[in-house]
Amino acid sequence: MRKTSAIVYQQIKQMLSVRRWQVYEILEEHGPLTSSELFEIFKVKHNFPFRYNANVHSRLNELQKLGLAHEVGTKECSVSGNTVILWDVTGNPPKTITKEEQILESISKFEKKLERLNGELSKLRSSASL
C-alpha cells in the first residue's frame, strides 16, 4: 500500500462496488496512470473482453466524487499518444455520500439515458418518414 493505511484501505474496499474496487486497486498499485493505461492493465488483470475504456473512465469519475482519486496533471499517454489527464489515488478515507446526492446522481444518469433514447427515436422517425 502506497499512501493509505491498512485500516483506510479496508474501509475503501468494503464500501466500493467490485468494479470500482478493481479500478482503485490498480490505480493504487500502479498510479499515477492515464485512463487508457489503467484500462490496459485492467484488461489483462481481470480478463476484460471490451476494447473501449468507457467503463473504467466512468469508475474514475465516481472514485473522484468519493474523494478517492484525483487528477494530478497531464501527460502524453503511452497507449493513445495524446496528451491526457493523469489520475492517482488521494490516500484519503472515502467521503460519505448522502442519500440526496445518490438520488440526484441517479436522476442525472436517467436524464442522460432518456436524452440519448429520444435522440435515437428521432433518428428512427426521420428515417422511417423518408
Instruction: Summarize the confidence of residues 32-61 as an average pLDDT.
Output: 85
Q: Are residues 87 and 106 in the same domain?
A: no
Its domain, for residue 120, covers 98-130
pLDDT tens digits for range 13-30 = 777 888 888 999 999 999
Residue by residue, DSSP assigns 4-33 as S-HHHHHHHHHHS-HHHHHHHHHHHHH-SB
Residue 51 forms part of a structural domain: yes
Cα separation of 61 and 91, whole Å?
16
On average, the pLDDT of the chain sits at: 84
SS3 content of the chain, % helix, strand, coil (to 5): 60, 10, 30
Q: Is 10 in the same domain as 44?
A: yes
Contacts of 44 (CB under 8 A, 6+ apart): none
- pLDDT tens, residue by residue, 83-128: 999 999 997 766 666 677 778 777 888 898 899 999 999 988 888 8
Task: Give the pLDDT confidence score for residue 38 in this predicted structure.
Answer: 94
For residues 67 and 114, membership in a common domain is answered with no
